[in-house]
Structure 1
Amino acid sequence: MNSSFVTSKRLRGALMATALTALAMSPVPAFADVVKIGLLAPLTGPAAADGQEYQRGAQMAIDEMNAAGGVGGHTFELVTGDVKDMSSGNVTSAVERLIGDPDVHFMLTGYASLTNFEIDNMAEAEMPYMLAATSQQTRDIIAPEPDKYNCCWSWTPSFDAYNTDVTSFVEKLAADGKVTLPNKKVAIVSSDNAYSKTISEGMKKTFTEKGWTITVDEIVPFGEVTDWRSILAKVRADVPDVVINTDYLPGNSASFLNQFLEQPTKSLVFLQYAPSVPEFIQLTKEKSNGVIYNLLGGPLVSPKNPRAEEVGNKFKEKYGVESGTYGVALYEIMNVYFDALKKVGDPSDHAAIMKALGETDKQTVAGRLKFDPATHLAMQGEDYIPITFFQIWDGERTLISPEKYATGEFKLQPWMQ
Structure 2
Amino acid sequence: MVPLTGPSAADGAEFRNGIILACEELNARGGLLGRPIKPFFVDTCRQTAKEVVSAARLLIEKHKVHAIVNGYNIGAQNSEYEPIADAGIIYVHANTLLQHHDTVMSDPDRYFGCFMADPADYWYGPGLIKFLSWLRDSGQWTPKSNRIAIVSGSTPYSIVISNSMAKAAASYGWQVCFGPKIVQTPTSQWRDVIEEVRATDPAVFANTHFYAGDLAHFQRQFVENPMDCLVYLQYGAVHRTFADIAQEASVGVIVSSIIGLLRDEMGKRFETRYKARFGDGSTPTIGCQSYSNLHHYAVGAAMAGGSGAPGDFEQNRKVAFALRGMIYRTVHGTIRYHPDWQAVVPYPVLTPDPSLGMPHIFYQIHDFRAPLAMIAPEPYNTERFIYPPWMSGRPTETKPAPSANPRGLTEF
What TM bracket, shorter-length normalisation?
0.7 to 0.9
The answer to which of 320-329 and 269-278 deviates more is 320-329
The SS at the match of 2:372 is strand
Quote how far apart the aligned CAs of 1:101 are. Answer: 2.5
Matches within 5 A, 1:234-383: 234-302=196-264, 306-321=265-280, 322-348=282-308, 349-381=315-347, 382-383=354-355
Instruction: Judging by fraction of residues, say which structure has more strand.
Output: 1
The answer to which of 169-178 and 58-67 deviates more is 169-178
Provide the C-alpha distance between the structure 2 equivalents of 1:351 and 1:173, rounded to a whole number of angstroms.
Answer: 44
Unaligned runs of 5+ in 1: 1-39
Provide the C-alpha distance between the structure 2 equivalents of 1:102 and 1:43, rounded to a whole number of angstroms.
Answer: 19
Provide the C-alpha distance between the structure 2 equivalents of 1:130 and 1:51, rounded to a whole number of angstroms.
Answer: 15
1:220 matched to 2:180: no
1:112 matched to 2:73: yes
Conserved? CA contact 1:66–1:76, under 8 Å:
yes
Provide the C-alpha distance between the structure 2 equivalents of 1:56 and 1:119, rounded to a whole number of angstroms.
Answer: 24
Number of the residue aligned with 1:404: 379
Number of the residue aligned with 2:116: 154
Conserved? CA contact 1:208–1:214, under 8 Å:
no
> Over residues 101-120 of structure 1, what are the superposed CA-to-partner deviations in whole Å (9 max), with x where a residue is unaligned?
35311102221244222123
The answer to which of 56-65 and 66-75 deviates more is 66-75
Conserved? CA contact 1:390–1:399, under 8 Å:
yes
Provide the C-alpha distance between the structure 2 equivalents of 1:292 and 1:327, rounded to a whole number of angstroms.
Answer: 21
Amino acid at match of 2:72: Y
The answer to which of 158-167 and 329-338 deviates more is 158-167
Amino acid at match of 1:317: A
Provide the C-alpha distance between the structure 1 equivalents of 2:3 and 2:163, rounded to a whole number of angstroms.
Answer: 25
The answer to which of 261-270 and 205-214 deviates more is 205-214
Number of the residue aligned with 2:364: 391
Q: TM-score, normalised by structure 2?
A: 0.86
Q: TM-score, normalised by structure 1?
A: 0.85
Provide the C-alpha distance between the structure 2 equivalents of 1:216 and 1:356, rounded to a whole number of angstroms.
Answer: 43
Among 88, 92, 110, which residue is 1:126 paired with? 88
Quote how far apart the aligned CAs of 1:283 are. Answer: 1.3
Conserved? CA contact 2:227–2:390, under 8 Å:
yes
Q: Point out the structure with max Rg over C-alpha.
A: 1
Conserved? CA contact 1:134–1:194, under 8 Å:
no
Unaligned runs of 5+ in 2: 309-314, 348-353, 393-412
Provide the C-alpha distance between the structure 1 equivalents of 2:202 and 2:362, rounded to a whole number of angstroms.
Answer: 21
> Over residues 333-364 of structure 1, what are the superposed CA-to-partner deviations in whole Å (9 max), with x where a residue is unaligned?
11112212322343333332233222332211
> Over residues 301-322 of structure 1, what are the superposed CA-to-partner deviations in whole Å (9 max), with x where a residue is unaligned?
23xxx22222222111111134
Quote how far apart the aligned CAs of 1:250 are. Answer: 0.3
Does 1 or 2 have the higher relative contact order (CA < 8 Å, sep 6+)?
A: 2
The SS at the match of 1:75 is coil
Number of aligned residue pairs: 374
Q: Percent identity?
A: 31
Question: Superposition RMSD on alpha carbons, in Å?
Answer: 1.8
Provide the C-alpha distance between the structure 1 equivalents of 2:79 and 2:68, rounded to a whole number of angstroms.
Answer: 15
Number of the residue aligned with 2:12: 51
